[in-house]
Amino acid sequence: MSGQDDVAAVLPPSLPPRPWPWEHGRWRGLVFQFVVLAAVVGVVVWMGSNAWGELKNFGFSFLGNTAGFEISFKLIDYDRAGTYLDVLIVGLLNTLLVAALGIVLATVLGFVVGIARLSPNWIVSRLATAYVEFVRNVPLLLWILFFYLALIPTLPVAKQAVSLGDWLFLTNRGLFIPKLHWGETAWMVLVAFIAAIIGAIATTRWARRRQLATGKRPPDLLIGIALVVGLPVLAFFAAGMPVSLEYPELKGFNFKGGLALQPELFALVLALTIYTATYIAEIVRSGIEGVSKGQSEAASALGLSRGQRLRLVVIPQAMRIIIPPLTSQYLNLTKNSSLATAIAYPDVVAVFAGTALAKEGREIEILGITALIYLTLSLVTSLVMNLYNRRIQLTER
């Protein structure tokens, strides 16, 4: 009798019944994860068995075969005697070029428009809003085609090229500019250039330290410019002038020599830029709005102008909110650049996963490599942006 009372005294009056394992949040999570994993494995195995027939002669030796086709735009030397590996590299460089140009330009435009949307000037903010709403609601592919098909008819034919001396020619075949011709010893110039950049960075750091220590800053900008210009020039002469310029020249249908920047490149970069900039503008706007009002009020109490407030106080704090979604816009832009095929810009999808695939038929290998390339590009972009993000996070006080 007393024993029972003891027990009752020890137990809290209303202990809830012990939950079953599957009622436990963590357990349920685990079970779901397991089910999803099993499903994914199942699908992969199923697809794998479907692909098995095609996998019998799986291999990458075809990359060494001669491709036998031309590519209209290339940053490195390539002709139809090149291999599929060369095709892959040419296409990849073309993709990287478009992505890099697009990212830089879209970021600039996106920041300008995003800030303009918050402008106290009614017309400026309305214009920015109209731009965002209009451009974003038309599919990207249409913008690409629009710029392309609208651009070309406005350009002159080769024989009536618009020119700037012997240097620049604008025709409907593209913008022709002189090309750098790299000789045997040209690597010395490149090495000198890289060394100069490293030197310039070191100088700036040293200058900053001196400024903190002595209050006077040595002329690091001048020294830096002198290094970056001077060192390669010195190397250029020391190496026996290995770099020369190749000028474009009209021959028959078209200009020969020089570097031709095609209308396809312009149209693609333009479309990617104005389209992605609308998303970046929205990200910038919400990033700025995410910084507490007190910050800019305090800044204006200190007598800072609107520009100074934005540049010195608000944007540095807004960056922390902006960076993560900005990264995913960069990834989107890179992936969207594969719409290039629509206007015959030879990106990696067009020449490698397109022409090479049609010719060689190595579906699994070619699509696998292409997917891996985009995955790597995405991971590298994310990594760089995360590093940058971490750096600016640390400045928080």
Partner 1 sequence: MKTAIIAVTLTAAAALGGVAAAESATLKEVKARGYLKCGVSDGLTGFSNPDSQGNWSGIDVDVCRAVAAAIFDDPNAVRYTSTTAKERFTALTKGEFDILSRNTTITMQRDAGLGMEFTGVTYYDGQGFIVKTDSGVASVNDLNGATVCTQTGTTTELNVADYFGAHGMTYQILAFEKESEALSAYDSGRCDTYTTDQSGLFAAKLELADANAHTILPEIISKEPLGPAVRQGDDAWEDLVRWTFYAMVNAEEMGVTSQNVDEMLKSPSPEIRRLLGVEGDFGTQIGLTNDWAVRVIRKVGNYGEIFERNVGMGSQLKIPRGKNALWNQGGLQYAPPIH
> How far is 273 from 140, CA to CA, in rounded Å?
10
- How many residues are present in the chain? 397
Q: Which stretch binds partner 1 (CB under 8 A): 87-95, 105-113, 196-204, 341-349?
A: 341-349
Token output for 337: 């650049």
- Interface mask toward partner 1 for 164-183; x: CB under 8 A: --------xx----------
Cβ-contact 178, 259 below 8 angstroms: yes
Residue from the set 42, 48, 68, 240 that interacts with partner 1 by CB under 8 A: 68
> What are the structure tokens assigned to 344, written together?
């015959």
Q: Judged by CB under 8 A, does residue 378 bind partner 1?
A: no
62 binds partner 1, rule: CB under 8 A: no
Binding part of the chain for partner 1, among 12-20, 196-204, 271-279, 358-366 by CB under 8 A, reads 358-366
Q: Is residue 65 at the binding interface for partner 1, with CB under 8 A as the rule? A: no
Shortest distance in whole angstroms from residue 95 CB to partner 1? 16
| Separation in Å, CA 332 to CA 107, 167, 300 | 13, 36, 37
Burial 181-214 (b: 16+ CB within 10 A, else e): eeeeebebbeebbeebeebbeebbeebeeeeeee
Look up residue 25 and give its DSSP letter: H
Amino acid at 92: L
By beta-carbon proximity to partner 1, the closer residue of 131 and 352 is 352
**Phi, psi (deg, nearest 5) at residue 78:** -155, 140
HSE of 201, CA atoms in CB hemisphere, 13 A: 5
Q: How many residues bind partner 1 (CB under 8 A)?
A: 36
Dihedral of CA atoms 224, 226, 229, 232 in degrees, nearest 10, equals -90
Distance of alpha carbon 277 from alpha carbon 140, whole angstroms = 12
User: Cβ–Cβ contacts within 10 Å for residue 288, how many?
Assistant: 21
- Cross-strand bridge partners of residue 181: 244
**Least gap, CB of 103 to partner 1 (angstroms):** 24
Residue 72 interacts with partner 1 (CB under 8 A): yes or no: yes
- Report the nearest approach of partner 1 to the CB of residue 66 (Å): 11
Shortest approach of partner 1 to residue 152 CB, angstroms? Answer: 5
Pick out residues in 309-338 that bind partner 1 (CB under 8 A).
none
Can you tell me which of 355, 370, 381, 389 binds partner 1, judged by CB under 8 A? 355
Q: Least Å distance between CB 62 and partner 1?
A: 11
Q: Which is nearer to partner 1, 86 or 264 (CB)?
A: 264
Residue 368 interacting with partner 1 (CB under 8 A) = no
N-terminal to C-terminal alpha carbon distance within the chain: 65
CB of 78 to partner 1, least distance (A): 13
Residue 363 touches partner 1, criterion: CB under 8 A: yes
Phi (first) and psi of residue 361, to 5 degrees: 70, 10
Show contacts with partner 1 in window 241-270 (CB under 8 A).
Answer: 251-254, 256, 263-264
Side-chain-side CA neighbours of 129 within 13 Å: the count stands at: 9
- Which residue in 152, 177, 223, 234 binds partner 1 (CB under 8 A)? 152
Closer residue to partner 1 in complex, CB, 226/342: 342
- Are 273 and 105 contacting, i.e. CB atoms less than 8 angstroms apart? yes
C-beta closer to partner 1: residue 172 or 204: 172
**Is the Cβ of residue 74 or residue 117 nearer to partner 1 in the bound state?**
74
Nearest approach in angstroms of CB 264 to partner 1 is 7
Q: Site residues (CB under 8 A) for partner 1?
A: 53-54, 68-72, 80, 145, 148-149, 152-153, 157, 172-173, 251-254, 256, 263-264, 341-344, 346, 350, 354-355, 357-359, 361, 363
